[in-house]
Structure formats: C-alpha cells, structure tokens
Structure 1
C-alpha cells in the first residue's frame, strides 16, 4: 500500500529570487519514484500574504483546498475558494494561487500522470537546482530540474 500523512511531510521552500512575496512550501510525495503507477500528488502550503509562483503543468491538475482561503487565477479568470474547494486546472494553463486568508493555505494537487513537467514564470529557487522547468520525477529521483531552460 502506498500511503502518506500530509501532517508528517517535510516541505521544501520555493520562490523567486528577490521577490519574497512569492513563496510555496511543497512536497511531491506520490509519484512514479515512490511507487505510483498512474498518478502524482503534491501537498503544498502558502503562508499568509504570499503567492505561489506563477506556473503551468503538462497535465491537468485538480487542487483541493485543505485549509485556508485561496485566490486562484487560471488564465484571465480569478475566483476565491475556501476550505473544501476543488478546482480543475487544464493542462498548460498558467495558474497563480494566492493566500488571501488569515491562516496558512494548505492544498493537495492531484495529477493523472506519474510524471509532471512544470514551467515557471521565472527561475524557481528551492529545488535542488534553480530552474524554470521542474520535472517530478524520474523513477528513483525526488525531482529533476533543467537549469539551462
């Protein structure tokens, strides 16, 4: 059985250099490298007053708001979601998730693929190598980055 408790995960702080308002603390804890055969799951937190850096993914993402209040922008559409909210984000659509609440925003993201390629607006600092493109994961890897892209 492949299982985890989001309360026990170690999170990696990520953001854009010189822009402290952009921050996300994340752990891609279910994927092909951990034994998943058809999906990837990421858990992330966005501190109060911060914004998850703008990005897109090569596959559709379904996000579930575990706690907090999120302002979600997909393309040019923006809506606010609270605890229990569920949002489907189409593949390759740019997304920005801002914590507009008073508590830490806690989110689960579900992907229908064991590999997810993410493209960020700027170089993302926090993964093993700063990069605009992050691949999660190659089998056996935690995360692969491409710094020259």
Structure 2
C-alpha cells in the first residue's frame, strides 16, 4: 500500500506575469512532473494536489482529459467552467469536461486546498499565458 500525505508533498509555486495567478501544486501520481513522487496509478489516471492562497487564482486553462476537482479546505472559491460560474466550498466536487476552459479564484480568507483526478495518465494542461517557473503555457504531466 502506498499512502500520500498532501501536507508532506513538496509543492511547486506557479505564477503568471501580470496576473493574480499563484498556485502551489504537485502531481503525486504522474511520471512527468518535476516534484512528483514517481508513483503511477494502475488504472492510468493522474492526480494533482494544489493550493490557492487568499485573493489569488488558478488561471484559466484547458486539460486534455476530464477532471474531477474536490475542494478539501476553503470557502468563497469562485469556480469558472466554460461560460458557467459558481461558488465552491470544502467538501464539494466539480466535474470539468475535457478541453473545457476553467479556473478557480480564492476570495476567502484562508488558503484553499484541492485534489483533482484526471481520467488519463498523460495529461496536457494548456494555459492562456506562460507559467513560471516552467516558462511555457503548456504543461504535460
């Protein structure tokens, strides 16, 4: 059995110049991400853990497979999926169709924590602007 504690993960901070994007993330079940644990799920899925500080956001992007995002902690999370917007709080799950533009903004007072589950082991994330420190707008995990 392999157990991952999100609190023990080494997170990589990603930003975009000229925006409020600031997210700390790790893909604990992905062979391609720099801060990975090197573990892969037998079913060919990818898992991401990410945090968004207060008044910051995860910028609009598209992911190649469908994604399920579970909010672990936080309230006042503005979720954007396609043309729809809504509020997300701890304990709530949102389904994001493949290649649907989406993003999250933390309007609350505490760091919001999420876990996302992708339906494929190879995932392409396409952002509107370059990610730092990656230096590109496309991230493959």
Q: TM-score scaled by structure 1?
A: 0.85
Q: Which runs of 4+ in 1 moved over 2 A?
A: none
Structure 2, unaligned runs of 5 or more: 32-37
Q: 1:65 aligns with which of 60, 71, 84?
A: 71
5 Å-filtered alignment, 1:11-90, equals 11-19=11-19, 21-32=20-31, 33-37=38-42, 38-69=44-75, 70-90=77-97
Report if the CA contact (8 A) 1:2-1:35 is conserved.
Answer: no
Report if the CA contact (8 A) 1:48-1:104 is conserved.
Answer: yes
Q: 1:133 aligns with which of 122, 131, 138?
A: 138
Count of aligned pairs: 133
- The aligned residue for residue 6 of structure 1 is 6
> Cα distance, 1:15 vs. partner?
1.2
Q: Secondary structure at the match of 1:7?
A: helix
Q: Secondary structure at the match of 1:42?
A: strand
Counterpart Cα distance in 2 of 1:99 and 1:126: 21
- The aligned residue for residue 123 of structure 2 is 116
Q: TM-score scaled by structure 2?
A: 0.89
Deviation digits for residues 82-131 of structure 1 (CA, Å, limit 9, x no counterpart):
1101000000000010001110010000011111100001011123xx11
Report if the CA contact (8 A) 1:25-1:46 is conserved.
Answer: yes
Counterpart Cα distance in 2 of 1:2 and 1:133: 29
Report if the CA contact (8 A) 1:14-1:25 is conserved.
Answer: yes
> Cα distance, 1:35 vs. partner?
2.7
Report if the CA contact (8 A) 2:60-2:102 is conserved.
Answer: yes
Q: Secondary structure at the match of 2:91?
A: coil
